[in-house]
Structure 1
């Protein structure tokens, strides 16, 4: 054997030896590959076929007949399919806020010194309770003006009362004169009654007229006897007519003057009352709240230059800014007062919830608070915002909620369930009756004692109480409510057994 043949033989022997050494490794890799292929086949095609077979069995098996023991243990309940008012509802997030009509920053109405600040944060106050006392010359001037206007009003009232009384007496006085009563009788009747200057003017003219009447009456018999000429009679009659004219003129002028005096007194009183009202309004502007009539009546000359700041409504003091003897400027916040007996619920209605925009004030909504489990709170829609917010494409919804229990706090996160669209009558079942499997919805209809049938349904609008059924059921059918999920489990087990 040549040297070259010997080298070739040695290389061939080495290659076989290497191959024999690596053969176990190759066998292991081959077994692992075959196992992986088998598992892949089971996980893909084989498993899907099993699921498909299970679903086919489930869809094919739609009747259940349970023994009496299972029926009693399951405590199944059923309700007939009925027509109910259904309105779709949607839940949106929101926040509890202060009722803005009952959340007030009580500010200093004037410049001055805080002489008293009688409340602290957390205190409960009633409407009209004293909150703070401020000393200010401006208040003193406003009160002096009120007292002056009150005096003017009182004087005007007295003048009107006097003029009205004179007018009443004068009308009666003239009536007695027109009746022809004697001067002595009239004077006795009105000796203690006010007539002003009209008594002398009218009574003097009336006396002259009465005297002229007497002279005419005395002259006429003398004319018949020839003792007096007819000319004298005519002169006396002319004098009598002139006296009567003067009396009637005095009477009419007196009536006119007293009516004018009464009208002027009324106008003066109205003007005085207007000036007094303006003075009160100026003081109320300084105070920042309306003054009750009882408080107005009790104000006297000793009111001074102090201003009593009172609570505008019942509530609690949320914060206090100043301390006694500090100087305040008009507009400085003294306290923040809030009443949380009612709160506002604020939520945003987005474009996807746009049917809710049709809600009107007064519609009831339901509020749940994640921090308070198992309790829902009724609220009433107060208003919808008119402007769509560009950054969120939504409008604000504000509802009012009763919080007299005090369990709710401003700032809490809430969920608001609002009705969407219009309510309508529809064939409906309870939400707990509805089941789902492989994206198909169905219910169980009780056909007999212990006998149930799976019925596929198509649903529509939903609410907390009802789900609209568009197809699959008829009115009066008994649909399982309690224990429906147990029936689904039994149906699945029965399908697997077959």
Structure 2
């Protein structure tokens, strides 16, 4: 009798424990809601861009060389001053008398180092006149990019935190000492925002895929040689296998059973499983 009662109590405890585990599991399943952020799938051209850096130089630099050495007696300009062709620059006292020097071209005075009373040689430029209304951006590219670039093509260049259209005017077909191919592009600079020597950042489209589906690169999950994303439908995560056509730092071009306008998970996707309940949060 005692043995029977012991067995009966043991079985009862096992049943209660099993029910308790089932209840806990059900609660956990009911309570599993994953917080995620999403982004919209777009259908646009995918452009993979290459960013290069170069320097801005004046379109033209004209030296001012004295016909004869002499003493600088009058100086009418200073560095950075804008002059027009024919403007008086300075007066010198030479062995043949007083000589007036005028600007040989329109532009800005640069490289001026002499002051009134100084003796100035005629073997080196007294100063230069730089045409800064049009600037040249010099940069160098690999052989692969050299094949992509086209003369007279216009790209976007960023200088001093402002963007300008830059037109390619020269593409060298022989590399320099670094093995890269020099390229020049011209930029209109009428407001003189770009100064000589400034760093220029030029963006070149390296590859284009037309009319493709685009998702944020961070939305793509790679696992067991498979690429997939999670699409949110009725507050549930739906796993969909995709093919990645090209990947950029921010955006990837994909193919798969997905449509433009659907919402894909961009944060929280690494903890998701197919069918999980999700709580979509606004991106901070």
| TM-score, normalising length: structure 2 | 0.65
Distance apart, 1:464 and its partner CA = 8.2
* 2:113 matches 1:321: yes
* 2:243 matches 1:458: yes
Do 2:59 and 2:131's aligned partners in 1 also have CA atoms closer than 8 Å? no
Find the counterpart in structure 1 of residue 170 from structure 2.
383
Do 1:321 and 1:333's aligned partners in 2 also have CA atoms closer than 8 Å? no
Find the counterpart in structure 1 of residue 126 from structure 2.
334
Q: Distance in 1 between matches of 2:146 and 2:251?
A: 19
Find the counterpart in structure 1 of residue 4 from structure 2.
none
Residue from 123, 129, 136 that aligns with 2:87? 129
Find the counterpart in structure 2 of residue 480 from structure 1.
263
Find the counterpart in structure 1 of residue 74 from structure 2.
116
Q: Distance in 1 between matches of 2:155 and 2:241?
A: 32
Unaligned runs of 5+ in 1: 1-64, 141-304
Q: Distance in 2 between matches of 1:123 and 1:129?
A: 12
Residue from 81, 97, 100 that aligns with 2:56? 97
Unaligned runs of 5+ in 2: 1-31, 277-284
Q: Which has the higher contact order (CA 8 A, sep 6+)?
A: 1
Do 2:41 and 2:213's aligned partners in 1 also have CA atoms closer than 8 Å? no
Distance apart, 1:396 and its partner CA = 1.0
Q: Where is the helix percentage greater, Structure 1 or Structure 2?
A: 1
* 2:183 matches 1:397: yes
Find the counterpart in structure 1 of residue 210 from structure 2.
425
Do 1:442 and 1:457's aligned partners in 2 also have CA atoms closer than 8 Å? yes
Distance apart, 1:410 and its partner CA = 3.5
Q: Where is the strand percentage greater, Structure 1 or Structure 2?
A: 2
Q: Distance in 1 between matches of 2:124 and 2:179?
A: 38
Q: Distance in 1 between matches of 2:257 and 2:86?
A: 64
1:87-486 equivalent positions in 2, closer than 5 A:
87-92=47-52, 94-101=53-60, 103-108=61-66, 110-111=67-68, 113=70, 114-134=72-92, 306-310=99-103, 312-315=105-108, 317-324=109-116, 328-351=120-143, 354-368=144-158, 372=161, 377-389=164-176, 391-404=177-190, 406-420=192-206, 423-431=208-216, 434-438=219-223, 441-446=227-232, 448-461=233-246, 467-469=252-254, 471-473=255-257, 476-480=259-263, 484-486=265-267
Do 2:139 and 2:183's aligned partners in 1 also have CA atoms closer than 8 Å? yes
Distance 1:435 1:378, change over 3 A: farther
Distance apart, 1:98 and its partner CA = 1.0
Q: Distance in 2 between matches of 1:338 and 1:440?
A: 58
Do 1:133 and 1:309's aligned partners in 2 also have CA atoms closer than 8 Å? no
Q: Distance in 2 between matches of 1:434 and 1:311?
A: 60
Do 1:99 and 1:343's aligned partners in 2 also have CA atoms closer than 8 Å? yes
| TM-score, normalising length: structure 1 | 0.40
Look at both structures and tell me which one has the larger radius of gyration over its CA atoms: 1
Aligned residues: 243
Do 1:125 and 1:311's aligned partners in 2 also have CA atoms closer than 8 Å? no
RMSD: 4.0
Q: Distance in 1 between matches of 2:105 and 2:211?
A: 51
Deviations for 1:270-297, whole angstroms, at most 9, x for unmatched residues?
xxxxxxxxxxxxxxxxxxxxxxxxxxxx
Q: Distance in 1 between matches of 2:231 and 2:146?
A: 34
Deviations for 1:184-218, whole angstroms, at most 9, x for unmatched residues?
xxxxxxxxxxxxxxxxxxxxxxxxxxxxxxxxxxx
* 2:45 matches 1:85: yes
Q: Distance in 1 between matches of 2:192 and 2:228?
A: 44
